[in-house]
Structure 1
Amino acid sequence: MKLKGKRITIEDLKLEDVYEMVNWGKHENVLLADYNFPFRTDSDIKKWYNIKTKPLRNHYYSVRNENGILIGYFGIKDKKYIFRSAYLGIVFDPNFLDMGYGTETFMTFLPYYFGKMKMLTLYLEVAEFNDRAYHLYQKIGFQKIAYYLDVFPEQSLDIRNPYFVEKRDAFVIEDGIIYQQIFRMKLTRHKFFSLFKDGEKDGFYA
């Protein structure tokens, strides 16, 4: 599969793509540290790739920009063919955030997902503190349907850190354990095509 946007190209994720992620940047915000690509050894990279791509109900894609640079990847996971639904997980190289690539990826892939794949619903989950991602999902048409508490992956986080202090309301600390608020969001085929009949709106990428 190969999809072309204005600047991006989406293809099936290959093992050689993962080796390029080793050179990705790191998030300055300590709350986003879990999104940094952590693996460096050949065996760890191959293991990560197999864990992601082997399950039959998962499919992963690479995202390259107009210069052929790997800038992100995303997965359509836990596909339920009876309900025509799946979950989305998406990650971008921090060096290429705030450039409109995330929006373009959605607007390139979702017509294929809801059209060619004939899927009816797409779900995703996002941490409440992740404003950038949450606002992007809202712009695309995702709606919040539930929330829950989940253990924050970086338990050694200094709670005096300015990034944490700024987003304190998005966390709960109980018995010394840091929990984060997670929003579950949903986008239906009807909702997407009612918002973007031609796949995009004038000025959408601005």
Structure 2
Amino acid sequence: MDEAVGLRTLEKDDLEFLHTLYNNGEVMSYWFEEPYKSLAELQDSYDKNMSNPHERRFILKKGEEKLGLVELASIDYVHRKAEFTIMIDPVQQGNGYAITATQLAMNYAFSNLNLHKLYLVVDQINEKAIHIYRKAGFEVEAELKDEFFVKGAYHNAVIMSIFQDDFYKA
């Protein structure tokens, strides 16, 4: 029997897995960040933010296998919105996990947190990610020109969002 893909709360023993992802240049280029993060820095961040009510961090898993990281960040309970981020282990990419993770995160955001809006920022050249987000119901809200400097060049970013009502209609 196939084990279901799901989300579970990020735990301290997941930090070595994240350390590997955060130091992968290809992965971090899509996060508009330098692949430079020490394990000590991750541990410090975990300790400082583990009780932060404005963040939810999850490990995407299949059984005991870690597939990636899913985050709801900058959760704003007044305006009922949050930023969605996702990072799939390069070894696991191409298996359909990103769409499943996106749907799980949307369900959590809209059902558990009762958010009104979920948004994300994606590199305009990341066509695969944009396709996945569109498939999940996200729509483009804006384009930010020359927003991020990655690998020696400026990249445009796209802001995409989905609203709670649209999620429940789908």
2:100 maps to 104
**Structure 1 residue 111: Cα displacement:** 2.3
CA shift digits 1:115-166 (9 cap, x unpaired): 22211110111000111111000000100011113131433xxxxxxxxxxx
2:164 is aligned with 1:189: yes
Q: Secondary structure at the match of 2:7?
A: strand
Shift in Å at residue 76 of structure 1?
0.9
Q: What percentage of aligned pairs have identical amino acids?
A: 19
How many pairs align?
Answer: 166
The alpha-carbon distance between structure 1 residues 98 and 27, as it changes in their structure 2 partners (threshold 3 A), is: farther
What is the alpha-carbon distance in structure 1 between the residues aligned to residue 40 and residue 28 of structure 2? 27
**Separation in 1, partners of 2:149, 2:49:** 21
Larger proportion of strand: 2
Say if 1:37 and 1:57 are closer, same or farther in 2 by CA, change over 3 A.
same
In 2, Cα distance between equivalents of 1:45 and 1:87:
20
Distance 1:111 1:18, change over 3 A: same
Equivalent residue, structure 2, for 1:131: 127
RMSD: 2.7
Q: 1: distance between equivalents of 2:13 and 2:168?
A: 35
119 and 186 in structure 1: CA distance in 2 versus 1, 3 angstrom threshold: same
| Structure 1 residues 121 and 18: alpha-carbon distance in aligned structure 2, compared to 1, 3 A threshold | same
Alignment of 1:59 with 2:56, yes or no, is yes
Question: Structure 1 residue 78 and structure 2 residue 74: aligned?
Answer: yes
Judging changes above 3 Å, is the alpha-carbon distance between structure 1 residues 23 and 137 closer, same or farther for their aligned structure 2 residues? same
Q: CA deviation at 1:112?
A: 2.7
Q: Find the residue that maps to 2:103 and give its secondary structure.
A: helix
Q: Which ranges in structure 2 are unaligned for 5 or more consecutive residues?
A: none
TM-score, L = length of structure 1: 0.69
Residues 47 and 94 of structure 1: is their aligned pair in 2 closer, same or farther, counting only changes over 3 Å?
Answer: same
Letter in 2 for 1:76: L
TM-score normalised to structure 2 length: 0.82
Matched, 1:115 2:111: yes
Deviations, residues 71-99 of structure 1 (Å, cap 9, x unaligned): 11121111111221111111111111110
Structure 2 residue 8 is the aligned partner of structure 1 residue 11: yes
Letter matched to residue 138 of structure 1: R
Cα deviation for residue 192 of structure 1 reads 1.3
1:43 CA drift (Å): 1.6
1:184-204 deviation digits (Å, cap 9, x = unpaired): 011011111211xxxxxxxxx
Contact 1:58/1:75 (8 A) holds in 2: yes
Structure 1 residues without counterparts, runs of 5 or longer? 1-5, 156-177, 196-206
